[in-house]
């Protein structure tokens, strides 16, 4: 059933960056299943068949602007933004080049800023909007080899809270979902012994499913979560509890 907004009976336009695979695809599928009009971005390759998609590289302001223009022209203004696109370039601090650091920040944190800023234009006209940043528990716990990634993900919390203070009174919410270890291409790259060690440290004793992340995102975008702003929901089987 489509999620009704107070002002209209039209389906909401939901944009999921990096929605062509992994967690983003699962989030997009979940919104589509409840009747929202979902547009995903893809960066490389071709658009997945049968879904509404625009090409977008979040590390380019021009590419983000072009994608939003296409969406607004074809489907209308974005009402729910899920900033999900992300990369890793893991290596120990002493070996991490400045490019390893800045390129991860440029996609994960500045990329999220680019899409959030652009989406806000439409939110102010619509007089409502929801932003959900996909972070990671590593933004709280840190992890060896991830000085770049952890910094980028920690930054999303500060950004969501700044946006909350700026736009909370304009019916805009900005929240963060911080997944723990989720079964996707990203975690499939981990060696078997590393996977076993990680599982042993998770109270739930397993990696999560992308659907479990999608559930939290959908709730934050739902009418019932209208008073939830500037918060972080961890979906991590208890891994980072207390942080």
- What are the backbone dihedrals phi and psi of residue 117, each rounded to the nearest 5 degrees, phi first? -60, -45
The contact mask relative to ligand NDP for 45-74 (x = CB under 6 A, - = no) is -----------xxxx---------------
| Residue nearer to ligand NDP on the CB measure, 87 or 225 | 87
- 124 vs 186 by CB, closer to ligand NDP: 186
Residue 24 binds ligand NDP, judged by CB under 6 A:
yes
DSSP for 66-82, written as a single string: HHHHHHHHHT---SEEE
Question: Total number of residues binding ligand NDP (CB under 6 A)?
Answer: 30
Residue 182 in contact with ligand NDP, rule: CB under 6 A = yes
Tell me which DSSP letter residue 241 carries. Answer: T
By CB under 6 A, residue 87 contacts ligand NDP: yes
CB-CB contact of 208 with 181 (8 Å): yes
Is 42 an annotated catalytic residue?
A: no
Q: How far is the CB of 44 from ligand NDP (least distance, A)?
A: 4
Q: What are the helix and strand counts (H, E) for the chain?
A: 9, 7
Q: Is 28 in the site for ligand NDP (CB under 6 A)?
A: no
Residue 80 or 126: the one with the smaller Cβ distance to ligand NDP is 80
- The DSSP line for 110-147 is HHHHHHHHHHHHHHHHHT-EEEEEE--THHHH--TT-H
- Angle at the Cα of 180 (from 175 to 185), degrees rounded to 5? 105
Window contacting ligand NDP (CB under 6 A); options: 2-10, 40-48, 190-198, 220-228: 40-48
Per the residue annotation, which of 42, 149, 181, 198 is the catalytic one? 149
The C-alpha atoms of residue 201 and residue 206 are separated, in whole angstroms, by 9
Give the binding site for ligand NDP (CB under 6 A): 17-18, 20-24, 41-44, 56-59, 84-87, 107, 111, 134, 136, 179, 181-182, 184-187
């Amino acid at each position: 059933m489509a999620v009704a907004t107070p002002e209209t009976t039209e389906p909401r336009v939901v944009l999921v960056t990096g929605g062509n695979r992994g967690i983003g695809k699962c989030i997009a599928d979940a919104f589509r299943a409840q009747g929202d009009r979902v547009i995903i971005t893809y960066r490389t390759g071709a658009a997945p068949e049968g879904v509404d998609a625009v090409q977008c590289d979040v590390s380019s302001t021009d590419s983000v602007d072009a994608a939003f223009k296409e969406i607004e022209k074809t489907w209308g203004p974005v009402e729910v933004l899920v900033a999900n696109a992300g990369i890793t370039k893991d290596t120990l601090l002493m070996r991490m080049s400045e490019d390893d650091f800045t390129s991860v920040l440029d996609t994960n944190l500045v990329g999220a800023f680019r899409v959030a800023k652009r989406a806000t234009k439409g939110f102010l006209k619509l007089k409502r909007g929801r932003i959900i940043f996909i972070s990671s528990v590593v933004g709280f716990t840190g992890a060896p080899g991830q000085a770049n990634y952890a910094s980028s993900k920690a930054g999303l919390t500060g950004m969501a809270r700044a946006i909350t203070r700026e736009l909370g009174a304009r019916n805009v919410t900005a929240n963060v979902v911080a997944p723990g270890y989720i079964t996707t291409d990203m975690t499939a790259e981990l060696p078997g012994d590393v996977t076993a060690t990680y599982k042993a440290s998770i109270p739930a004793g397993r990696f999560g499913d992308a659907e479990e992340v999608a559930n939290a995102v959908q709730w934050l975008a739902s009418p019932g979560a209208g008073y939830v702003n500037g918060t972080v929901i961890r979906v991590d089987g208890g891994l980072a509890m207390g942080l």
